[in-house]
Structures are given as C-alpha cells and as structure tokens.
Structure 1
C-alpha cells in the first residue's frame, strides 16, 4: 500500500510503475513502490503488490465485532461470584451481631 490509504489498488500499481527501476540506480522507498526494502522497484515488488491486491481495503478494528473476554477475566468473575455465594451461604440471616 504505497499511498497508505488502506487499499492495494490501481493507485499503488501506478506508483510502482512510475518508479520502476529494476537496477536500483536511484534507491527507492516504500512510498515509491519498494515493498521489500532492497532499494529497487522491480518484479519482486510487483509480485508482492499482486499477492496482496485488495482494492476494497482492509477491515478496521471497529469492524471486528464484539470483544471476547480473556480467560483471566472470566476467572476473576468466577472467583468473585464464588466469594459472594460463600459469604451469602455463611451468614443466612445477614451479619452476626
């Protein structure tokens, strides 16, 4: 994603084509289409672009759905619930005076 817009599309292909330099005469950057960091924009970079082609874009973290509690959270909830039940079972009439 050379233009960092969340999509790998024709705009990125255009950037790669505009900076095509398989010899590496002038070192290139990610924003110029050098996706493997070798300083060249060549067939390897074109292959990486093609392998990751996604003109629709990627899902944001807000699209991920409902969070799922971690096991440690569930354990804390279970321990708290057991403690409440134990306290309630230990003093049937409320607090002792």
Structure 2
C-alpha cells in the first residue's frame, strides 16, 4: 500500500535492506570536498592582548563579621516577634471558638 503525502500524491515507500546498507558501506572515503584557497594577502585576525586584572582591595574581615552578627540579631529578633504575634493570634482565635 503506497503512502500519500500532504498534497494527496502517492509517495514511494522508503525501503532499506541489508543489501543497500552493505553497498553504502563498501564505498571508499574520498575525503572532504576541495575548497578554494584564500585570497592573496589574507591573514588571520590578530588578537589584541588585554591588560592583566587589577588587584582587588583588601577586605576588612572584622567589619564584615560585625555586620553579619548585626544582621543575624535583627533576623532572629524579627522571627521571635512574629512567632509571638502568631501565638497571640492563635490564642484569640481558639478562645473565640469556645
């Protein structure tokens, strides 16, 4: 049974047999296709060297540590505040439910 393509025209089925594959593998490799030589005077683009990276400033480790501790204290304080607020809201809801 022949297949039909989109236009409704009969398309030939593609049949691959072991003989066809064997014929294809028997061909000798002829190499890549030949190319035209580059035009006269052509050169590869030159890469311009860049300056070495600059030296980074030193870090003040004590200041970084102090800022981290302050941020941690504020974060934990806000967590305790909101947890206690949620506990109060939960108590109010439970007392009203009774």
TM range (shorter): under 0.3
TM value normalised by structure 2: 0.28
Choose between structure 1 and 2: higher strand proportion: 2
The TM-score with structure 1 as length reference comes to 0.28
The structure that has the greater radius of gyration is 2
The structure showing larger relative contact order (alpha-carbon pairs under 8 Å, at least 6 residues apart) is 1
